[in-house]
Amino acid sequence: MVEDKIVRCAWLTKDPIYIKYHDEEWGRPEYNSHRLFEMLCLEGQQAGLSWITILKKRKSYRQLFFEFNPYEVAKLQDENVVNLSQMSSLVKHKSKIESIVNNAKCYIKMEEEGEDFSKFIWSFVNYKPIVNRWKTNDQVPSQTLTSATLSSRLKAKGFKYVGPTTCYAFMQACGLVNDHLTTCISYKKYT
């Protein structure tokens, strides 16, 4: 997308929320475990939808899921899940809402077993971002062997809504891979 001679990734729309997200967040390496947990959960909410849909609901997700504090989220009961899955400020999908609670419990189990979530996630890219050199959107994959491996390992730990495509979108969003197009203003920022 070109706006005022600023070149950004071609997938971007003119929506100011999307532009702000692209310029300030997408592809920036994230190492905070709670923030990584939030993004993994939100990417799972996106499955079958557009990211802008989730982005516009993110404030509500943060408010209703205790800023994605896994220890608070894990306390939610079945009746809470039913109520949350009926709210228009969230994606009305009971199993997706349940997945956030489930994933919080999996996150806590990892910590209780001495496994740091951030270190676990970053281990799949040897603790440094993979810098790709895509020139067009057509070159950017929807999943990779690495995202499939991450997906498999997360599923083995009990996580839900973490398929290979979701995991790749998560890796892109959290800067495990730099998939900004080489012509994008943000490419060099994260290289």
Q: Specify the pTM.
A: 0.96
Nearest to 26 by CA among 16, 15, 13, 39: 39
Active site residues: 21, 43, 51
Q: 191 falls in which pLDDT band (50, 70, 90)?
A: confident
Distance CA 186, CA 183 (A): 9
pLDDT(133) > 80: yes
Tens-place pLDDT, residues 80-130? 999 999 999 999 999 999 999 999 999 999 999 999 999 999 999 999 999
The domain 2-190 belongs to what CATH superfamily?
Answer: Hypothetical protein; domain 2 (1.10.340.30)
- pLDDT value of residue 5: 80
Residue 15, CA atoms < 13 Å, CB-side half-sphere: 12
Determine if residue 93 is labeled as part of a ligand binding site: no
Average of pLDDT values for 134-145? 97
Q: 71 falls in which pLDDT band (50, 70, 90)?
A: very high
Q: Is the dihedral of CA 24, 26, 28, 29 positive or negative?
A: positive
Determine if residue 180 is labeled as part of a ligand binding site: yes
Residue 158, CA atoms < 13 Å, CB-side half-sphere: 12
Helix (H/G/I), strand (E/B), else coil: 164: helix
Tens-place pLDDT, residues 36-62? 999 999 999 999 999 999 999 999 999
Q: Report CA-CA distances (Å) from 156 to 9, 47, 101, 107.
A: 34, 20, 17, 12
- pLDDT value of residue 4: 63
Nearest to 181 by CA among 21, 26, 50, 42: 26
Tens-place pLDDT, residues 6-24? 999 999 999 999 999 999 9
Q: Report CA-CA distances (Å) from 186 to 16, 71, 98, 169.
A: 16, 34, 35, 17
- pLDDT value of residue 3: 57
In three-state form (DSSP H/G/I as H, E/B as E, the rest C), the secondary structure along 59-104 is HHHHHHCHHHCHHHHCCCCHHHHHHHCCCCCCCCCHHHHHHHHHHH
pLDDT(154) > 90: yes
Determine if residue 184 is labeled as part of a ligand binding site: yes
Q: 2 falls in which pLDDT band (50, 70, 90)?
A: low
pLDDT(1) > 80: no
**Is residue 46 within 8 Å of residue 93, measured between CB atoms?**
no
